[in-house]
Structure 1
């Protein structure tokens, strides 16, 4: 796995300065633009094309907070591709009532009830996003590996719970 943080010269972190990421992207775009290497050997052209592609992929990942979070979790070995993560039972029990209400709305549409449920889901998401922001800030501010390890596990759990909420929001959006 390519280390986009290293490629951009950044320390791995959940919170990055968006302007710095953009500036680095443009700097490397100028440096590795394939047109500047048109007269070079095919090997050099291939190398530059790979670096240009790497720059584009790094920017797409590091400039998007959700992508950056998943990428950093994967880079640190905490998140695996196609992982079958089991959400905490307490969370699933809390979500059962909301899911049942969404299913009821599929059979008996009611815009007012749908609005109430959207508000509930938004409130849950806001609470989780605030918790996530606090955890990622703590992670970025500490150098203690043991503390970071525990924080990564908590961030991973929130990552999956937020993905679950996104699916709920998609189901709610289908009700319109």
Structure 2
């Protein structure tokens, strides 16, 4: 089942967490396997499957990046294992940050790591700013494919930054 349909909310890129949680609790009670303890084996399996699907949908819609990925996939604009080409300018900037991470690993006082962490935080803000309005005001069928492709570019840039953050976090 489609996640937004399951939660009876409109398709959106930024889901209201309070509404999502309330609907999740309601659906959890409805599909909880304990309520099917005396049911047939197929009905019990259905309840388990429904609960697993509900949990997956809740986790996806509860995270902005996962929601963006999900909507882009639903629209056919994002494919698993896609070889997306980021702009050379962005990649050059990331190369510089990669070098700074390597240098921070040799920095005994940790000041370099803090500086790189701040750089990454600044980049996150910089890449989100151009799509913030699209994400906040997304309307299924109204938001254009061109706007969704901008969100896709953001998505892949954000993924790149996340890899760099994990690399930085690995430095002792």
Give the TM-score normalised by structure 1.
0.86
Q: Does 1:154 align with 2:150?
A: yes
> Which residue matches 2:89?
90
Give the TM-score normalised by structure 2.
0.88
CA distance, structure 2, for counterparts of residue 171 and residue 143 of structure 1: 38
> Which residue matches 1:33?
32
CA distance, structure 2, for counterparts of residue 55 and residue 121 of structure 1: 34
Of 140, 162, 168, 1:166 maps to: 162
Structure-to-structure mapping, 1:92-131, within 5 angstroms: 92-107=91-106, 109=108, 111-131=110-130
Task: Give unmatched runs, 5+ long, in structure 1.
Answer: none
State the Cα deviation string for residues 98-119 of structure 1 (Å, max 9, x = none).
2222223335556333322222
Q: Hey, which bits of structure 1, 4+ residues long, moved more than 6 A?
A: none
1:87–1:161 CA contact under 8 A, matched in 2: yes
> Which residue matches 1:23?
22
| Pairwise CA distance, 1:73 | 1.3
Range with bigger deviation, 100-109 or 50-59? 100-109
* Matched residues, number: 172
Task: Give unmatched runs, 5+ long, in structure 2.
Answer: none
State the Cα deviation string for residues 59-87 of structure 1 (Å, max 9, x = none).
11111222111111111111111212111
